[in-house]
Amino acid sequence: MCIEDKCIGITIRLNLNPKEQCMEKNKLIFRVKGNEEGMKLRAYLKDVQKLSSRLIKGAALDGRISVNNNRVKLNYVIKLDDEIAFDVEKKESQNIEPEKMDIDVVYEDSDLIVVNKQPGMVVHPTKSYPNGTLANGLLYYFKEKGEQCIVRLVSRLDMDTSGLIIIAKNQFA
């Protein structure tokens, strides 16, 4: 997809295994415009594309940044029409056991899920409530659908409160 000379392509691969790990492979592609020429790659990614320093540093150390299909260092000086590819790869896991339970799904798409939490249910495991939580149920729900990723709560509610909770399905949602 290209908008105003900024091309972004996102693909997702899942590494399905019993430990509830999710491997996401995301490739961001940017094309350098005239007013950006002469910048160092690090500054371009941080200041123009608004990527975090930590994300940039990690990708650079792993060799996941390329310009015109060539691996480069962060001090590379970008040129007009350079194509910058930034692979974001993140392996994540949680120590939460999936549990079968009824989940009231109100809305779901490829990026997020909204569920109606009933009163009396804890949102995520604690020492006092290691299981029977919404997070346990969501992991089971995702596993049954072949979407074995971690639970990323965007909002949460107290145990005795009912209402809608938003859960992101990926790190970019």
CA distance 28 to 42: 15
Q: Lowest mean pLDDT of 25-34, 74-83, 85-94, name the range.
A: 85-94
| 85-117 per-position pLDDT tens digit | 988 665 566 788 999 999 999 999 888 999 999
When pLDDT is cut at 50, 70 and 90, the band that residue 52 belongs to is confident
Residue in 47, 104, 111, 158 annotated catalytic: 158
Nearest to 113 by CA among 153, 146, 86: 153
How high is the pLDDT of residue 28? 83
CA distance 98 to 141: 8
Which 3-state string (H, E, C) describes 107-158?
EECCCEEEEEECCCCCCCCCCCCCCCCHHHHHHHHHHHCCCCCCCEECCCCC
Question: Does position 50 have pLDDT exceeding 50, yes or no?
Answer: yes
pTM, rounded to two decimals: 0.57
How high is the pLDDT of residue 170? 75
| 138-150 per-position pLDDT tens digit | 999 999 998 867 8
User: Of residues 33 and 3, which shows the higher confidence score?
Assistant: 33
When pLDDT is cut at 50, 70 and 90, the band that residue 163 belongs to is very high
CA 15 → CA 25, 95, 146, 148, 149, distances in Å?
10, 17, 10, 8, 9
81 in active site: no
The CATH superfamily holding the domain 2-92 is: RNA-binding S4 domain (3.10.290.10)
How high is the pLDDT of residue 24? 40
Domain segments of the chain as ranges: 2-92, 105-168
